[in-house]
Chain A
């Protein structure tokens, strides 16, 4: 039984990655409809990380980031955190709202920009969860997204505090968005509650 991500086999990891790929395909379609233009999105990497490395991945504990957090209930409860550097988030807001790229300033993000980012978090999470649900026949109900803009360490520790009692690792899917040859790399973290990982892997038929 895998109770923690660091005990996953490569087959189990591949299964989770494949779900990510399919989810990303769906998300790209949903995004394209939302912004009425083509946005490419892919999932180039899946990795397992210890908590303390999470902040380093996004430029260190002090780097200014945007984090979108969703709490998912159901038979395999989990949390989702989508995080990206503030300048990339602005770029993404430009893409989503259809403004000129690089026109949004981190100091003056509008409600519209923030709402667009939350919607993006919603779409990415929902599409990943949909493909996860399809493969596992489990049901997942995500909460409304919550958005935080601050130091990476601060955003992350608020989420990790929930898992600090039990786990030491998280599953990371790196997602990449592309519009007009401009790349924005976002980090999508999946944090299952204790036992959820086993439930998911059993349902996928790779619990060995």
Chain B
């Protein structure tokens, strides 16, 4: 029996086939999907903020882009994955509310996407595909068997990365 493993906000999970990983309702948050295709080990982290550096409560590493990627790399290595084989797909980082003035907080989605890309570069993890930005939410499902990332939206269609 295959399971769909739910990943909550500021959470990270690892799965192998036939299980799949899923996170619902990504807004400015980003779902970072990382896979070692030769071993078919996949992870999904649902991050909220760009960096753990200024955080008051740094306990939860899965909440921040930089620390979440560190955590994923460590955990995947424990499962036997090799950093050099890791590949990534990301989705999310939307701007859900439009304000007339420029507000940094409202641009959190863009900053999240940049932070994730930088964190991936640090480990030379290749970013195979990304679906970020825009102003709509996303629900994503990541399949460790194929490495396919299914992105669903309300009113903006469905696609496979």
Same complex origin of A and B: yes
Residues of chain B within 8 A (CB-CB) of A161 are 28-29, 48-49, 105, 108
- Interface contact A60-B24, CB-CB below 8 Å: yes
Residue of A nearest to B24 (CB): A61
| Bound CA span A44–B56, Å | 34
Residues of chain B within 8 A (CB-CB) of A64 are 154
Of the candidate stretches A31-39, A123-131, A151-159, the one touching chain B is A151-159
Residues of chain B within 8 A (CB-CB) of A144 are 99-100
- Interface contact B154-A146, CB-CB below 8 Å: no
**A161-B29, A164-B49, A165-B49 known; A154+B57 contact, CB < 8 A:** no
Residues of chain B within 8 A (CB-CB) of A147 are 97
Min Cβ gap A21→B in Å is 29
Q: Is B9 an interface residue (CB 8 A)?
A: yes
Of the candidate stretches B77-85, B118-126, B131-139, the one touching chain A is B131-139
Min Cβ gap A40→B in Å is 29
Residues of chain A within 8 A (CB-CB) of B97 are 67, 69, 146-148, 158
Min Cβ gap A58→B in Å is 11
- Interface contact A156-B25, CB-CB below 8 Å: yes
- Interface contact B28-A158, CB-CB below 8 Å: yes
Interface size class of B (residues with CB under 8 A): 20 to 34
- Interface contact B25-A160, CB-CB below 8 Å: no
Within the complex, which residue of A143, A150, A166 is in contact with B27, where a contact is CB–CB below 8 Å?
Answer: A150
Q: Is B98 an interface residue (CB 8 A)?
A: yes
| Bound CA span A9–B38, Å | 55
Q: Is A55 an interface residue (CB 8 A)?
A: yes
**Interface residue ranges of B134-150 to A (CB < 8 Å):** 135-139
Within the complex, which residue of B8, B48, B105, B138 is in contact with A154, where a contact is CB–CB below 8 Å?
Answer: B138
| Bound CA span A51–B11, Å | 13
| Bound CA span A150–B136, Å | 6
- Interface contact A150-B137, CB-CB below 8 Å: yes
Interface size class of A (residues with CB under 8 A): 20 to 34
Q: Is B68 an interface residue (CB 8 A)?
A: no
**Interface residue ranges of B1-33 to A (CB < 8 Å):** 8-10, 24-29
| Bound CA span A165–B54, Å | 8
- Interface contact B9-A151, CB-CB below 8 Å: no
Q: Is A105 an interface residue (CB 8 A)?
A: no
Interface string of A159-200 (1 = CB under 8 A from B): 011101110000000000000000000000000001000000
- Interface contact B105-A162, CB-CB below 8 Å: yes
| Bound CA span A162–B48, Å | 9
| Bound CA span A194–B56, Å | 11
Residue of A nearest to B97 (CB): A146
Q: Is A7 an interface residue (CB 8 A)?
A: no
Q: Is A14 an interface residue (CB 8 A)?
A: no
Q: Is B55 an interface residue (CB 8 A)?
A: yes
Residue of B nearest to A79 (CB): B105
Q: Is B94 an interface residue (CB 8 A)?
A: yes
Residue of A nearest to B26 (CB): A154
- Interface contact A154-B27, CB-CB below 8 Å: yes
Within the complex, which residue of B27, B56, B98 is in contact with A157, where a contact is CB–CB below 8 Å?
Answer: B27
The 4 nearest A-B residue pairs measured at CB: A153-B25, A154-B137, A154-B27, A61-B25
